Structure 1
Amino acid sequence: MSDAISPREFRQSEGTGDWRVVGDGARALFRTGSFTRGAALVAAIAELADAADHHPDIDLRYGAVAVRLISHDVGDISRRDLALARAISAAAAEQGLAADPSAVQSLQIAIDAVDVAAVRRFWQAVLGHDPVDDADLSDPLGVLPNVWVQQIDAARPERNTVHLDLYVPTDVVEERLAAALAAGGRVVNDENAPEWWTLADPEGNEVDLAPWRDDSPWK
């Protein structure tokens, strides 16, 4: 029996205030101020993960530790992730470390293709990614962004066929949208807002900016 839970269930559960669900699991970023303090938090997380037999992805940097939780066997977040998220937050609090939910984000590369299989084979080969489902590619080390090859009916020479999908927390998306527009960007398509906005830079390169909303239809 699957223990998968929805983003809404995760968010509404007690002890998840440090975390945001943004496209590819539940993420948190803890400000540490030093590499040594960050390493201490990573060591604490490692003990918790081994005890739970459930292991997150961790990125240790000089001033922060980023953590991603996802259950690959269910392809989504689960109650195991919920339990580990609470334990990690408690460990960070014990070490006097605060989370910065506004810094959480998730990036995916999206490629529009008429022949999805052919385009996917190329990107799988050149990136060394693993296939996931019918159109996705994933870095086996979990370091590089996922690649999603999206079906289109016909070639589109008048528009880019490669764009970025950027997922950010709902509580920061308006600020990020305003910053992008102030920096010279423009809204190309807002028909799907507030699920996502398609933005373009001054030369037409596109990004879909999406808040990972609890009430989104794909949840």
Structure 2
Amino acid sequence: MTGTESGAAHIRPQQFHASTGVADWRVVGEGACAYFRTGSFAAGARFVQAIGEMPGSGDGLPHPDVDVRPEGVTVRLIAVTDDYYGLAELHVDLARRISAVARALDIPADPSAVQTVQITVDALAGPAVVAFWRALLGYRDRANSGEDLIDPHRRGAPFYFQPMDEPRPQRNRLHVDVWVPYDEAEARIAAALAAGGRLVNDADAPSNWVLADPEGNEACVGVAGPPEPAPDLP
């Protein structure tokens, strides 16, 4: 299944989280994701079939991206068009329907099990660097962006090219961004620090933290904000 339909009006992660009936879902950088613990590949296949047979499927509802594994199923909701890459209002209703299917099949959700990993490259010669990685990876530009590359099959990690004005000596030029559920960030950071990491910068907390491993290689932990009032959505 693919997630290429933009659906209705665009919404922000906070609006999605504030909507009713989406407790199973978390926005983690690349759309809204949910993980359902099916316990077997056969159960996962039945779950995916039931999603495909939901009333209204293919009739105005955007289609989800689905990953089926023996232990569980990951479902991602994202609009991918030439000019937009993100969430749409219709994704709220779709999330509710998919969660209802899971409950009917007695399949539990585990919101803590979702994440998105992004590779960030610091670039002085941005267009030239982007062109190299675009060709090497077989990726394409993210909607209206000259600084982001995405896997056209939506399987591999996205790449972001961070503009630089001058070289930064003694610092790595490539790092990993890990997007986690907003209610899992503190635990993930604590685990990384306990495993030998150190906090480099928390000036942008609670949306972003910069960590480093014992040799100074950096990584960022990011979240798409927690719920906030969204009166325009039920």
TM over 0.5: yes
SS in 1 for 2:122: strand
Q: Is the contact made by 2:17 and 2:227 (CA closer than 8 Å) also made in structure 1?
A: no
Secondary structure of 1:40's match?
Answer: helix
In 1, Cα distance between the equivalents of 2:127 and 2:39? 45
Measure the CA separation in 2 of the matches of 1:44 and 1:157: 54
Q: Is 1:125 matched up with 2:135?
A: yes
The answer for the alignment partner of 2:155 in structure 1 is 143
Listed as ranges, the gaps of 5+ residues in structure 2 are: 1-6, 229-234
Is contact 2:118-2:157 (8 Å) kept?
A: yes
Matching of residues 27-176 of structure 1 within 5 Å: 27-48=33-54, 49-73=57-81, 74-132=84-142, 133-176=145-188
Q: CA deviation at 1:131?
A: 1.3
| Moved beyond 6 Å, runs of 4+ | none
TM-superposed deviation, 1:178: 0.6
Q: How far off is 1:75 after superposition?
A: 2.4
Specify the SS of the correspondent of 2:91. helix
Does residue 14 in structure 1 map to residue 20 in structure 2? Answer: yes
Larger relative helix fraction: 1
**Alignment partners' CA distance in 2, 1:108 and 1:181:** 20
Checking the alignment, whether the CA contact within 8 Å between 2:9 and 2:89 is kept in structure 1 is: yes
Q: TM-score, normalised by structure 1?
A: 0.93
Q: Which amino acid aligns with 1:18?
A: D
Deviation at 1:30, TM superposition (A): 0.3
Q: For residues 167 and 12 of structure 1, what CA distance do their matches in structure 2 show?
A: 19
Give the letter for the 1:79 counterpart: E
CA offset at residue 193 of structure 1?
1.9
Report the secondary structure of 2:79's partner residue.
coil
Alignment-derived partner of residue 4 in structure 2: none
Task: Answer 1 or 2: higher relative contact order, Cα 8 Å, separation at least 6.
Answer: 2
Kept in 1, the 8 Å contact 2:178–2:222? The answer is yes
- Structure 1, 51-60 or 177-186: larger mean CA deviation: 51-60
- List gaps (5 residues or longer) in structure 1: none
Deviation at 1:46, TM superposition (A): 2.0
Equivalent in the alignment of 1:206: 218
Which whole-Å CA distance do the structure 1 matches of 2:23 and 2:47 have between them?
A: 18
Residue 44 (structure 1) shift: 1.4
Aligned equivalents of 1:35 and 1:29: distance in 2? 14
Cα separation, 2, equivalents of 1:92 and 1:81:
16
Instruction: Tell me the TM-score normalised to structure 2 length.
Output: 0.87
Q: Give the superposition deviation at 1:47.
A: 2.5
| 1:53 shift after superposition | 4.5
User: For 2:30, what is the secondary structure of its paired residue?
Assistant: coil
> Contact 2:37 / 2:73 at 8 angstroms: preserved in 1?
yes
Aligned residues: 216
Aligned-residue CA RMSD (Å): 1.7
